[in-house]
Amino acid sequence: MQVFEVKDRGSIREFFRFAVRLYRSTPQWIQPIENEIESLFNPAKNKLLKDGACKRWLLKNDNHETMGRIAAFVNNATASKDNEQPTGGIGFFECVNDHKAANLLFDTAKNWLAINGMQAMDGPINFGDRNAWWGLLVEGFDIEPNYQCNYHFPYYQNLFENYGFQVYFKQYTFGRNLMEPLSDTNAKKAEAIIQNPDYSFRHLDKTKLAQHALYFMKIYNAAWTGHTGVTAMNETQALSLIRQMKPIMDERVIWFGFYKGEPIAFFVNLPEVNQIFKYVRGRLNVWGKITFAYHQWRKTNKKLMGLVFGIDPAHHGKGVDAAIVQAFRKMVQEDYPRYVTFEMNWIGDFNPKMINVARRVGGDIIKTHHTYRYLFDRHREFKRMPVKA
């Protein structure tokens, strides 16, 4: 077996084609959009490469047949943030069920990361924030992956843990039938807030995207920047995010909460676009865009994705979470019953407060991913992600 760096058009194509061949007989797998992944490795499109580095490899056998692939990342801005040692990452790992093959891929990534000053590696992760391509699927193999979420074979867990990776944190995806009633407890908590004239709740207005982007930024920075590995958002980033969502957003399922006119909560949901992208088959070219537009017109997608939920800490414990969920429930169950199923974006086991919210909103855990960490110094004490108070 031999490892080859991915650096020309042929090896880039093989990087993607290998995954297609590997999952050919797995109906649950949905082929990711290739250009989106490729942009992560392009310095002209990924600003993180200004203060970081990445490299990827293919593993081939003596017959020059591909057996695996892997990528490694160094983000100097975050490598030492909230870590006791500089920590890089590995991702986009795919491999046949062979420990020697997997170990050679892991060794290749580890050695490159060590040369670049890292003392540990997390994986499988993405080069950037945790909102995409993060974690190894260990439960929920019978369910199709959501957009930019990893799907893996069950044997991958053994490949990682046999090498020495340990669980840094677990990621839970909650799901439910959207038409099932919420609990009576949720309704009672919501009622007190709904009756309070200082609080109000309304869904996004597409004609006022810039204003809603500012709402989102303010709530996000108040609710999320206290979490490990989460950085503050600026106006430009918030507006860019909202604009990226615009082509697929459904304004009736994105909700904001206000206290005396000031934004304090959001519940952002999107149509789950992998339910359309599975017909595109990885290529958003002209024909892919036509296919996408056709299925949007046909309203093929019946699944809703809970992207992010946040409340200003000053309003925690007051029932605001229940109230915004109740406003959303009325819309999707009574006023606008277009969607059938609902899944929430993953929540780490280090965040018990959000897990409690998800149990009220999202139903039951239907998928579990693991984010693993591997310490290069095998004698060093391993510590899991601290639990958020």
Q: Give pLDDT, residue 359.
A: 82
Q: Are residues 90 and 199 in the same domain?
A: no
Q: Give pLDDT, residue 245.
A: 87
Q: Give pLDDT, residue 226.
A: 67
Q: Are residues 193 and 166 in the same domain?
A: no
Q: Are residues 167 and 199 in the same domain?
A: no
Q: Are residues 118 and 226 in the same domain?
A: no
Q: Give pLDDT, residue 286.
A: 74
Identify the sign of the CA torsion 10, 12, 14, 17: negative
Evaluate whether residue 382 is within a structural domain: no
Q: Give pLDDT, residue 228.
A: 60
Evaluate whether residue 121 is within a structural domain: yes
Stated pTM of the model: 0.85
Which residues of the chain carry a pLDDT beneath 50?
none
Q: Are residues 48 and 151 in the same domain?
A: yes
Q: Give pLDDT, residue 324.
A: 92
Q: Are residues 234 and 307 in the same domain?
A: yes
Evaluate whether residue 153 is within a structural domain: yes
Q: Are residues 295 and 231 in the same domain?
A: yes
Integer Cα distance of 363 and 114 in angstroms: 42
Evaluate whether residue 322 is within a structural domain: yes
What residue numbers bound the domain in which 254 lies?
Answer: 179-339
Evaluate whether residue 361 is within a structural domain: no
Evaluate whether residue 136 is within a structural domain: yes
Q: Are residues 160 and 259 in the same domain?
A: no
Integer Cα distance of 125 and 131 in angstroms: 10
The count of structural domains within the chain is: 2
The tokens for 107 are 């060794």
Q: Are residues 26 and 129 in the same domain?
A: yes
Evaluate whether residue 187 is within a structural domain: yes
Integer Cα distance of 317 and 158 in angstroms: 41
CATH number (domain holding residue 304): 3.40.630.30
Q: Are residues 56 and 135 in the same domain?
A: yes
Evaluate whether residue 384 is within a structural domain: no
Q: Are residues 199 and 311 in the same domain?
A: yes
SS3 per-residue string spanning the chain: CEEEECCCHHHHHHHHHHHHHHCCCCCCCCCCCHHHHHHCCCCCCCHHHHHEEEEEEEEECCCCCEEEEEEEEEECCCCCCCCCCCEEEEEEEEECCCHHHHHHHHHHHHHHHHHCCCCEEEECCCCCCCCCCCCEEEECCCCCCCCCCCCCCCCHHHHHHHHCCEEEEEEEEEEEECCCCCCHHHHHHHHHHHCCCCEEEEECCHHHHHHHHHHHHHHHHHHHCCCCCCCCCCHHHHHHHHHHHCCCCCHHHEEEEEECCEEEEEEEEEECCHHHHCCCCCCCCHHHHHHHHHHHHHCCCCEEEEEEEEECHHHCCCCHHHHHHHHHHHHHHHHCCCCCEEEECCEECCCHHHHHHHHHHHCEEEEEEEEEEEECCCCCCCCCCCCCC
Q: Are residues 319 and 212 in the same domain?
A: yes
